[in-house]
Every structure is written in C-alpha cells, then in structure tokens.
Amino acid sequence: MKTHPAFGTKKNSGLTLIELLVVIAILALLLLIAFMSWRSQFDKAKDAAKKDDLQRLSIALEGYFNDNDCYPIANTLANCDTNDLIPYIQTIPCDPVTDTPYCYIPDTTDPSCPRHYRLLSSLDYTEDPIITKLQCHGSEYCGYEPTCATPEQSGYNYGVSSLNIPVLNPLPLLHLPVLHLALALVLALNLVLMLVLLLAFATLMKTPAPVLLPGQILVLVLPTAPLQLLKKDAPINMKKLKSGFTLVELLIVITIIGILSSIGLNSFTSSQIKGRDTKRKAHLKQLTDAFEAYYNDKGEYPSDDGSGNIMGCGVDAEAACTWGTSAFQNTTTTTVYMILMPEDPTTGRNYFYTATAVAGLNTQYQLYARLENTLDQAVPKNGSDEPQAYPSTTCSATVPTGCNYGTSSTNSTLPTPVDE
C-alpha cells in the first residue's frame, strides 16, 4: 500500500524539537492575537467612558461660564465624585481607570476669573483617530502639564477645551532633551534584547535537535520534565521512533489551532459589540445632560421633527440637528450644549428622539438607541426571555428596526415594549 508523500514514509521521522517549538509558537501567536484584539476592545470601552466624562464636564463648565462670565478656578475639579459643581453637573466624575480627578487647567492670566480652560485625560487605545486629530499623537502628547499631580505629567493624549484655545499645548524646549534621552534609552534596550534573542536562536540552530514523538510532547510541559532531552547524549530509545507525524496527529493539531482561532474570533466579535454598545449608552448620557442645560435656558426641552431628529440647533436653538455633524448650540446666544452631536457608531443605525408637549411646552422627552448585544440587561424582554423593542421608534435601516434601549426625562417613563 502506498502512502501519500505529503505525510512522509520515513520510519525515523518523528516530531523534532524544532517542529515542536514551531507548533508552540504558532499556538502562542494565535493566543496573543486573540488577547490583543480583546484588549483593544476593552480599552475602547474604557475610553468611551472617559470621553463621556469630559464631554459632560465641558457642558457643565460652559454652563458655569454663561452664569458667571468666568470658568471655575483651579482645583475646582480636584475632588471628584462630589457635588461641588451643582447645578451644572450632579457629580464630578473620576477617571474610571485610576479613580483620580481629570486634569483641569484653567487660564492663569487671572486665576480668580479664568477665561479659558483645558481638560485632559489619557486614552488607553492609542490608535484612536481623535488623538491624531487633536495633534496629541507625538512623543510630547498634548503638552507638558506640571499643574496636574499625577505621575504622567506629559502623558495626556486626549482632552477638551474652551472654544477660544486648542487642546494642544506645545512642550517647552527645556523638557525636550529629557524626553528624547528617555526614548533613546528605550530604543537601546530593545536593540540589546533583539541581539540576545538572535544569539540564543543561532545557538539553538547549531545544536542538534533531538527527535521527539508526539507522545513525548507532554514531558516538556510537566514540572519534572527531564532536561536530558536537551543534552546531546540523551538516552532516547530509537526503537520508539518508528512512527512519524501521521495524518491523525496532523488533523489534531489543525483542530486545536482551529478551536483556538474560533475562540479568539468569538471573543473579539463580542468585545467589539460590547464596545459599541458602551459608546451608545455614553452618547445618550451626554445628550441627557445637554437636554437639562437646554431646559435651564429655555424652560422646555427641544422639540422633534417627527422622524426622531432633535430640533435644537442653529438660530434660537430651534433648527434641525444632524447626527454626527451639527453642534448642539444656540447660535443666537452662542450657548453651546454639546460641541458635536453624537451619532451611532454603526453605519445604518441612528438614535431616535421624541418630545411630549404639555400646555404648549415640551416638558418631557424620550431618547432611544438600538443595542447590538440583545443579552444586555438593559434590553427589554418578554416572558420567554426574547428581546423586545419600543413601539413607534426606528433605530436601524435593516430589520429589526425598532429601538431596544432608551432613557427619558425624570418626569416621564418609557413606553411599554413590544415583541419584534
């Protein structure tokens, strides 16, 4: 009987140490890719919370300025998780990762009445396009900030600011040599590490690799693995080396790699979905705070256009707003409620807004989105634990189109959800 040449016919061709290392390296690489994909989505979820906090603080600071003709003085945000800025914001948020205050830098020309400010944070996902847009992607980040009592005084890569100054603060020349020296040291350490690895690999290639059977692989991962396998004179029983790398063994390896790849892909996809849903919840929270600021100015909430869009932009803050492009701003009084209207992170999806008038004033509102993760606790479900949606809402261009997540003004409730 002939054997296909692809699987080998040599009686002494077992699984060598080099081949074993190659298999282990492939498995490790797949696991690393899966972990990095999961980690990037986890970082994006945390960053969404940071962006939400800074957006809400920015709205609160603009409201403070409208009432006092000054921004808050330094150290106003130093005590996070407090209500020191009521009524502009209920609670001053803390950084969700470090549980410390965000870096608030007011104008120092007149410390008692700042005319501008910068509010900074550090995003964990460093590939976020907003970092480059703000010009905070270089080695100097957004600038040197000695006023913030944190170990990373020059490591802020994201922020917001008053409309009269940019977020970027050029780094003083005095600190450039220090940063460049640190970067040079890191580069030198990387080069040394690469040389050590290359020398180790070259030494391994010169050493004759012992032949191992697939059954002997377990010996290498046991705590009591005999190091004699790596020695030149290791007592290996050559009579046991008659079975090569069979088709069954090859299929087992391929199956293991396929299972690990599938697990990694599922984890990556799930992390992406949860990350986008976190951003949707953050957007609705930002809009909720902006609506309250609008209500304080006008005595009512914005009206809607009947198609889920907000009528709160432009002249007298009564023109239609466009998701993702309009500034939620009263151009007549220059009052800014939100620098940029948010939009759903997925193409073909949108947020949905409705206002309810009582005695001629919009005193109630409901705001909706559609979450992708229907297992989310916030998604309504029927008695059979099947996801439902809110009636007369449209959050998606494809079926199902209804919105399954929402928030409302404190004096109203969401309608009863229905089966999709």
Cβ-count burial of 27 within 10 angstroms (0-12 exposed, 13-18 middle, 19+ buried)? middle
pLDDT band at 263 (very low <50, low <70, confident <90, very high): confident
pLDDT at 232: 46
For residues 33-50, give the mean pLDDT. 78
Arithmetic mean of pLDDT, 317-325: 93
Q: Counting beta carbons within 10 angstroms of the beta carbon of residue 405, is it exposed (0 to 12), middle (13 to 18) or buried (19 or more)? A: buried
Which residues lie closer than 8 Å to 218 by C-beta, 6 or more apart?
A: none
Average pLDDT over residues 88-102: 86
Q: What is the pLDDT of residues 99-114, one digit of tens each?
A: 888 989 898 888 899 9
Judged against a pLDDT cut of 80, whether residue 366 lies above it is answered with yes
Per-residue pLDDT band for 202 (boundaries 50, 70, 90) equals low
- Torsions phi, psi of 174, nearest 5? -60, -30
Place 170 in a pLDDT band, splitting at 50, 70 and 90: low
Q: What is the pLDDT of residue 13?
A: 54
DSSP reduced 3-state for 16: strand
Q: What was the pLDDT predicted at 316? A: 92
Whether the per-residue pLDDT at 174 is higher than 50: the answer is no
Report the pLDDT value the prediction gives residue 163, as an integer from 0 to 100.
81
Please choose, from the candidates 102, 171, 94, 185, the residue with its C-alpha nearest in 3D space to the C-alpha of residue 136: 171
What share of the chain has pLDDT > 70, as a percent? 70
- Identify the three-state secondary structure at position 98: coil
pLDDT of residue 225: 42
- Tokens found for residue 109: 């020309």
Per-residue pLDDT, 228: 44
The string of DSSP codes covering 160-171 is EE-TTS-S--PP
Q: d(Cα 193, Cα 305) in Å, to the nearest integer?
A: 62
Min mean pLDDT across 68-77, 176-185, 241-250, 357-366 is at 176-185
Residue pLDDT, tens place only, 1-15: 555 554 444 445 555
Q: Taking all residues of the chain, what is their mean pLDDT, rounded to a whole number?
A: 78
- Per-residue pLDDT, averaged over 407-420, amounts to 94
Total residues belonging to the chain: 420
**How much is the pLDDT for 379?**
95
Least confident of 27-41, 173-187, 397-411: 173-187
The answer to whether residue 217 scores a pLDDT higher than 50 is no
State residue 340's pLDDT score: 86
Residue 93 has pLDDT above 80, yes or no: yes
Average pLDDT estimate for 92-98: 87
Q: What is the mean pLDDT of residues 256-277?
A: 78
Please tell me the predicted confidence (pLDDT) of residue 181. Answer: 53
Residue 411's pLDDT is what?
93
The residue that leads in pLDDT, 38 or 307, is 307
| Mean of pLDDT values over 336-341 | 86
Among the listed residues 43, 57, 63, the one whose alpha carbon sits nearest the alpha carbon of residue 93: 57
Task: Return the number of other C-beta atoms located less than 10 Å from residue 237's C-beta.
Answer: 7
- Report which of 251, 244, 249, 248 is spatially closest to residue 9, judged by C-alpha positions: 244
Give the residue, 231 or 79, on which the prediction is more confident. Answer: 79
Cα separations in angstroms, 49 against 36, 56, 161, 281: 20, 11, 18, 9
What would the two tokens of residue 352 be? 């949905």
Q: How far apart are CA 214 and CA 236, in angstroms?
A: 14
pLDDT given at position 197:
59
